[in-house]
C-alpha cells in the first residue's frame, strides 16, 4: 500500500483545508485574498490553515511583491491518489460482480 | 458507460445497469443479495437507520488456509428506492471507517444508474487504528455527508 505521511493526513483531515486545496486545484495559484473570499472564517484563520498545508508540503508559497501566492504541490496528492487506488479498484470488482449477479438473477 | 471520479477525499463510481430500480434496490440493500456480490462470505444487516450488522470475508491464503475477516457496518439512511447510506470499518484495524452512499436513479429506458460514493478516508477520527471515539459517530457522519 502506498505510504502517506501522517502530516499530510493531519493536514487533509480538516474540511476547510480540503476546500482550500480543491480551490487551488481547480483555479490554480491564488493569493490569500482570493482564498479568503466568500468564507465565513477570518483571513487569520485561513492563513493558519494555509500554514498547515505548507508545513505538510501540500502547497508552495511564493512571494510576488507584497502578496503571497499559494499553489498546489502535486507530489503528496499523488501519494494520496495511490493510497485511495486499491479502495477504488475494490469497487470496480464489486460493481462487476453486482452486474453479473443481476444478469444471472434478473 | 461506467465512470470513475476521485475527489480529494472520496471515491465515486457510476455503473449503468439494465434492471429496474426496484430490482437494483433489492440487490444493494437486502443482506442475502449483498452476500451474493459484495462480501464473499456473509452479510448480516439490520437495514434501517441506526441498524447494525457485520460483513465477513474469507480470503484464501497462499499456504492453502483461509483468513477470516469481518467488519461492523452501520446503517445511516434508507430512502427506498433511491438512497442507502451506511458506514463500515468500525472495530476493524485494517481499514479506515468510511461512509458509503448508494444513489439509484431510474432511467427512461427502464434501467438504473447506480452511483457509489465512499468518503471519510481523510477524517482523522475515522482513521485506521483509532479504537476510540466511535460513539456519536453517526451524527458526525451525517453532518459530514450533509
Which set of grid coordinates corresponds to residue A8? 499530510
Paired sense of beta strands B98-106 and B10-17, if any? unpaired
Nearest Cβ partner for B37 among A9, A77, A94: A94
CA atoms of B58 and B64, how far apart (whole Å): 12
Q: Where are the domains of chain B?
A: 3-145
Interface test mutation site (partner B, options A74, A91, A106, max chain B beta carbons within 10 A): A91
Q: Under CATH, what is the fold of the domain B3-145?
A: Alpha-D-Glucose-1,6-Bisphosphate; Chain A, domain 4 (3.30.530)
pLDDT of residue A83: 82
Average predicted confidence (pLDDT) for chain A? 90
Instruction: Determine contact, residues A49/A17, Cβ cutoff 8 Å.
Output: yes
Instruction: Determine contact, residues B9/B127, Cβ cutoff 8 Å.
Output: no
pTM, full prediction: 0.77
Which candidate, B121, B129, B116, B134, places its Cα nearest to that of B38?
B116
CA atoms of A74 and A93, how far apart (whole Å): 28
Residues from chain A that touch B38, judged by Cβ atoms under 8 A, are 94, 97-98
Burial of B74 (0-12, 13-18, 19+ CB in 10 A): buried
- pLDDT digits 0-9 by tens, A28-61: 999 999 999 999 999 999 999 999 999 999 999 9
Residue A62's DSSP bridge partners are A69
- A2–chain B nearest CA distance, Å: 14
Q: How would you write the pLDDT of chain B (146 residues) with one tens digit per residue? A: 344 444 677 889 999 999 999 999 999 999 999 999 998 889 999 999 999 999 998 888 889 898 888 899 999 999 999 999 999 988 777 778 899 999 999 999 999 999 999 988 876 444 444 333 333 343 344 444 43
Report the SS3 class of residue B125.
helix
CA atoms of B124 and A6, how far apart (whole Å): 10
Residues from chain B that touch A106, judged by Cβ atoms under 8 A, are 19, 23
pLDDT of residue B4: 46
pLDDT of residue A80: 82
Instruction: Determine contact, residues A77/A60, Cβ cutoff 8 Å.
Output: no
Q: Which helix (H) or strand (E) holds B56?
A: strand B52-60
Residues from chain A that touch B36, judged by Cβ atoms under 8 A, are 101, 105
Residues from chain A that touch B114, judged by Cβ atoms under 8 A, are 95, 98
Q: Which residues contact B58 (CB under 8 A, 6 or more apart)?
A: B40, B41, B66, B67, B68, B69
Q: Give all domains of chain A, ordered by start, each with its CATH number.
A: 6-104 (1.10.10.10)
Amino acid at each position: 500500500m502506498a505510504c502517506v505521511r501522517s502530516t499530510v493526513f493531519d493536514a487533509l483531515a480538516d474540511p476547510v483545508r480540503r476546500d482550500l486545496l480543491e480551490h487551488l486545484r481547480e483555479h490554480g495559484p491564488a493569493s490569500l485574498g482570493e482564498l479568503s473570499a466568500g468564507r465565513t472564517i477570518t483571513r487569520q484563520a485561513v492563513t493558519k490553515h494555509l500554514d498547515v498545508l505548507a508545513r505538510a508540503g501540500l502547497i508552495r508559497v511564493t512571494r510576488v511583491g507584497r502578496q503571497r501566492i499559494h499553489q498546489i504541490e502535486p507530489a503528496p496528492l499523488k501519494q494520496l491518489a495511490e493510497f485511495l487506488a486499491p479502495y477504488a479498484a475494490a469497487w470496480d470488482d464489486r460493481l462487476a460482480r453486482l452486474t453479473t449477479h443481476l444478469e444471472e438473477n434478473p | 458507460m461506467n465512470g470513475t471520479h476521485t475527489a480529494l477525499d472520496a471515491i465515486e463510481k457510476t455503473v449503468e445497469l439494465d434492471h429496474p430500480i426496484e430490482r437494483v434496490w433489492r440487490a444493494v440493500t437486502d443482506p442475502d443479495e449483498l452476500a451474493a456480490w459484495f462480501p464473499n462470505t456473509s452479510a448480516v444487516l439490520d437495514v434501517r437507520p441506526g441498524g447494525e450488522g457485520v460483513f465477513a470475508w474469507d480470503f484464501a491464503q497462499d499456504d492453502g488456509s483461509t483468513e477470516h475477516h469481518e467488519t461492523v457496518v452501520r446503517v445511516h439512511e434508507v430512502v427506498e428506492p433511491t438512497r442507502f447510506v451506511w458506514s463500515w470499518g468500525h472495530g476493524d484495524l485494517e481499514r479506515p471507517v468510511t461512509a458509503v452512499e448508494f444513489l439509484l436513479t431510474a432511467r427512461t429506458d427502464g434501467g438504473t444508474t447506480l452511483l457509489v460514493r465512499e468518503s471519510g478516508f481523510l477524517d482523522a477520527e475515522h482513521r485506521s487504528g483509532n479504537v476510540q471515539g466511535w460513539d456519536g459517530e453517526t451524527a458526525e457522519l451525517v453532518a459530514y455527508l450533509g
